[in-house]
Every structure is written in structure tokens, then in C-alpha cells.
A and B are shown apart, each in its own frame.
Chain A
């Protein structure tokens, strides 16, 4: 657990908002959504850090669909905590739950895009 927290801190520090926003821009489409979903899956960031960070990304041009994918997998998929989940729920459960959560994060992203679109609030 300690190692994970340290690593995530390092990675977050290295990726500047500009770089992330370019990768996850409103025009990055489904590729951006997939990348965002993967980043969210392998991250372990507390909400009070993640959401202000997402706001900064939004201000730098990241798209709503991409951010919705990121927020969804960040909260529902836990690659770094797989070991812990397996310990309590076993391999089959853990793999199914995480795979399903990843796929549904893409669905959620699509719906958010439909509703929120690129209209600024």
C-alpha cells in the first residue's frame, strides 16, 4: 500500500495539466476516453485531490466525456488494490467486478457526453 501511494504521487507530479489536457481533450474522442479510463483505473487518489485536479484539467481543455471516464474508473476500478479485493472476495469476483466497472465507465462517459456535451456550465 505504501509503495502504491508513493508511486501515484510521483506519476501525478510528472504529468502536468497541460500534457494531460492535450491527451484527454474534448476532441480526443474515444481514444481519449480509453486513455482516461485506464489512467483512472491505475490511480489511487483521494477525492479531495482528484476533483480539484479534474477541474484544472477541464479548464485546460479536457473533455467532459474523458473526465467522466476518468472519474468513473478512478472510483470503481482499483488495479492497485486488486490484491486486497482478492483477499476478501476471491479472484473470480474481483476480476468480474473490475472488468464490468471498466466497461460501464465507458457507458457512463457516453451518457455524460450526451447530456453535458461540450457546453460550458
Chain B
């Protein structure tokens, strides 16, 4: 019963897809295909990410992370966060555990925000698809506008979250990261 409850949504979706297959084969097959691609992306990306996180935890000393990306890391820290973000592969939800692990290692909050921003919408593998699909002008415009947008968002988030909020987030990172 508990297993049923936990996978309620998935079971309903499977039933709906089965029904669709029954009534309209093409629509159903297209649904199965999209599901397959999304699942593949998740399965291919998550294991290496968690291995890397494990290695980061063991190999990279906290002092190094603090020096390069922590308080007082200045422009270089921001730039590094941005580079890690755009070099990433994988959907938005992958960045949350990574960002938490970075926080645990003493990376500055603003740099965490830059990492999440750059990762979400400027990562190179994604942008390559954008260039080939929607054209250079579209992709370049969107990217250039996104640079100030990410910084403004980081600034606002940094402002609206009190130091207690940030402390609470830090504690979450200690627990989950």
C-alpha cells in the first residue's frame, strides 16, 4: 500500500499512456519515446554527477574551495562559478545537490547563485542545440541578456534572504550535500 502511494503519480501516468496507446498508437508511441529520452538523460547524468560529488568531497580541501570561491574570492570566484556552470551538462535539478555540496565546502552564497543561474540557462552543451535549432541571432541575444539577468537575480536573492535564511540553507547543505 505504501509503495502504491509513493508511486501513485507514476502509476496513473503509466495507465494513461497505456490508454493512449490503445486509442491512438502514434500519440502513445510518441509519449513513450519522450519518456525514454528523459529517463535516459537522467540515468546517464546522475551517476557520474554523484561520483564527482563524492570525489570533490574527498579530494578537494575546503581551504582551496574557500580561497578560490569563498568570501573574499572576489571577481575570480564569480568567474569560476560561472565557468563551472556553463561547462556543465545536465538539467536544472542536477545543480541543486552540486550547489549544496559547494556550499558545504565554503563557497560564497553569491557564487552559488551565479553557478545555479549559469548552469540553468547558459550551459554550453544546451546552447549548441539552441544555435543549430533557433539560429545564432536568437541564441546570442538570449545569452547576452542572460548575463545581466543572472547577476541581477543573484543580487535580488542575496538581498531578500536574511542572514538567518542563509544560515538555514547552510544547515540544509550540511544535511543533504
Q: Interface residues, chain A, CB within 8 Å of chain B?
A: 1-10, 12-14, 44-52, 54-55, 58, 64, 67-68, 71-72, 75-76, 78, 81, 84-85, 87-90, 92-93, 96-97, 100-101, 104, 107-108, 111-112, 115-116, 121
Contact = CB atoms under 8 A, between A and B. Distances in A.
Given A87-B96, A115-B137, 5 more contacts: A5-B39, A46-B91, A76-B121, A89-B96, A104-B152
B35 interface: yes
B165 A92 contact: yes
Interface in B106-136: 116-117, 120-121, 125-126, 129-130, 132-136
Contacts, number: 178
B17 A76 contact: no
A89 B38 contact: no
Interface string B27-46: 11011111111110110000
A112 B13 contact: no
Contacts of A75: 92, 120-121, 126
A104 B30 contact: no
B110 to A, nearest CB: 13
Interface of B: 7-14, 16-17, 20, 27-28, 30-39, 41-42, 91-93, 96-97, 99-100, 116-117, 120-121, 125-126, 129-130, 132-138, 141-142, 145-146, 149, 152-153, 156-157, 160-161, 165, 168-169, 172-173, 176-177
B27 A2 contact: no
Contacts of A3: 7-13
A100 B116 CA distance: 13
Contact of B37 (A46, A54, A78, A81): A46
